[in-house]
Structure 1
Amino acid sequence: MPDPSTAGTVHPLPSPSDQAERLIGLGVHEIAGIPAEDVRAFAATAGRGRDVLLAVHPDRAPASALAPLLLRDGKPGFVVVDMPDVDRFAPSALDLPDAPLYFVAGLDRGDHMANWSPEEALPALTEEGRTPLVLTEGIHWVLQQPAVLERNLCFMTIGSRLRKADGALDARTPALWISNGTGRDGKERRNAPKVGWCWWGNRHTWLGFASAAGREGR
């Protein structure tokens, strides 16, 4: 079992109302086809003092549209070139609220699981009563709290998996980290936020497993 005491500190998120304004300012509501006032009204239902992430359902705002909105050192986020099917990675082994907007509670970057494989991490999260983040939730988190993505302290979002035509799960698992500007990323993308993937059975010392304590929609 992982030791929760070794988990990295996660600072409180902006208020849900501030998060709503951030999404509106980025045009996420237009991507999702949701009026700005509806986003503000939903954020207000969280109540005061709640440390929750305001998320748009991936059916309304896919990862390919959200990733370029990420920004680090003045450089926009991107999806790796060998993941053209990024939007086909759907929630797996968890149910998202059946609503265009919802809240994600109890975020944890999962630093204590660094150097675990996704195959090892998923049952441990389940035993803790937690569920892994889906890719779009991870992107929303970094949009609202850019500092959560640190060099050598990044995270996987294994709640999103791609099911192949034969019914089997693709061995790739999505992750968010910081580009080194090598290979096909290009030197101009060094230090940019990056949506990529890792193999289901592989371990990486610099990737934890982002998870949540719960989700709720209205």
Structure 2
Amino acid sequence: MPPLPPLAAQAEHLVELGVHELAGMSADELRDFAREAGGERTDVLLAVHPDRAPASALAPLLRRADKPGFVVVDMPDVDDFVPYDIELPDAPLYLVAGIDRGDRMSNWSPEEALPALTKEERTPLVLSEGIHWVLQEPEALERNRCFMTIGSRLRKANGALDARTPAIWISNGTGRDGRERRDAPKVGWCWWGNRHTWLGFGSTTGRSA
């Protein structure tokens, strides 16, 4: 993957998309954070905390082949998938370092990938971080090379974890997606125990406010 855009450019892109308004902050707050964090840095991703900008609001801002992103229709509870066993910085804006798509783990199940990432001292991306990454670097999604964001999980009313795990990939325009959505960025889910040859596991070496 190429380097990320400079932090200042990332902030400007989020402002152009109106993410600052979603997050209830001013454009200058976003720009100031990026400048103070080192505006020319290309080794970190600027992320808005999911409590401020949830996945359902970010997904439609994605673009590929001039088509907007979307959340699959059978995931109306997408915003209930929250960080699991991951402590995000207690701040509206933070940085995500060392992002990797996890291509080496393609055809692994989330159940198999999580302990391997932990052994490498990496943590999986949460869904909103994955969306932020594709917003800034659309090349992160390629045909047959997309990724899961298993840092987000849903706990059911009985206390058990939902077997679905969020992922971001490219729609084929089949089924309920609709032909008009072919090639659009897609937020969906996969089963915790299933393998997919075209999905790696997005992960990070750390987060900081």
User: TM-score scaled by structure 2?
Assistant: 0.98
Matches within 5 A, 1:183-198: 183-198=175-190
- Counterpart pick for 1:38 among 11, 29, 43: 29
Question: Is structure 2 residue 11 aligned with structure 1 residue 14?
Answer: no
- Equivalent residues of 2:7, 2:41 under 8 A apart: no
CA distance in 2, matches of 1:136, 1:49: 21
Structure 2 residue 51 is the aligned partner of structure 1 residue 63: no
How far apart are the structure 1 equivalents of 2:36 and 2:119? 30
Per-residue deviation, residues 118-151 of structure 1 (Å, max 9, x unmatched): 0000000000000000000000000000011001
- Aligned equivalents of 1:27, 1:33: Cα separation in 2: 10
Q: Per-residue CA shift, 1:186-210, capped at 9, x if unaligned?
A: 0000000000000000000000000
- Letter of the aligned partner of 1:36 in structure 2? A
Aligned length: 208
Q: Which amino acid counterpart does residue 104 of structure 2 have in structure 1?
A: H
Residues in 2 aligned to 1:52 and 1:32: alpha-carbon distance in whole angstroms: 20
Q: Distance in 1 between matches of 2:25 and 2:105?
A: 36
For 1:16 and 1:152, how far apart are their aligned partners in 2? 28
* Aligned partner (choices 3, 25, 28) of residue 19 of structure 2: 28
Structure 1 moving runs of 4+ over 6 Å: none
Report the 3-state secondary structure (helix = DSSP H, G, I; strand = E; otherwise coil) of the residue aligned with 1:194.
strand
User: Within 2, Cα distance between the matches of 1:53 and 1:212?
Assistant: 10
- Matching of residues 155-194 of structure 1 within 5 Å: 155-194=147-186
| Equivalent of 1:102 in 69, 94, 102 | 94
TM-score, normalised by the number of residues in structure 1: 0.94
Deviation at 1:44, TM superposition (A): 1.1
Out of 70, 74, 82, the residue aligned to residue 82 of structure 1 is: 74
Structure 1 SS opposite 2:156: coil
SS in 2 for 1:123: helix
AA partner of residue 13 (structure 2) = R
Root-mean-square deviation (Å): 0.7
- 1:45 Cα deviation (Å)? 2.0
Any idea what the Cα deviations from partners look like across 1:158-216, whole Å, max 9, x if unmatched?
Answer: 00000001111000000000000000000000000000000000000000000000000
Cα shift at 1:46: 2.0
Question: 8 Å contact 2:5–2:42 — kept in the other structure?
Answer: no
Instruction: Give me the identity figure in percent.
Output: 76
Q: Which whole-Å CA distance do the structure 1 matches of 2:44 and 2:168 have between them?
A: 20
Which residues of structure 2 form unaligned runs of 5+? none
> Unaligned 5+ residue runs, structure 1?
1-9
- Offset at residue 50 of structure 1 (A): 4.5
* Alignment equivalent of 1:135, drawn from 117, 127, 137: 127
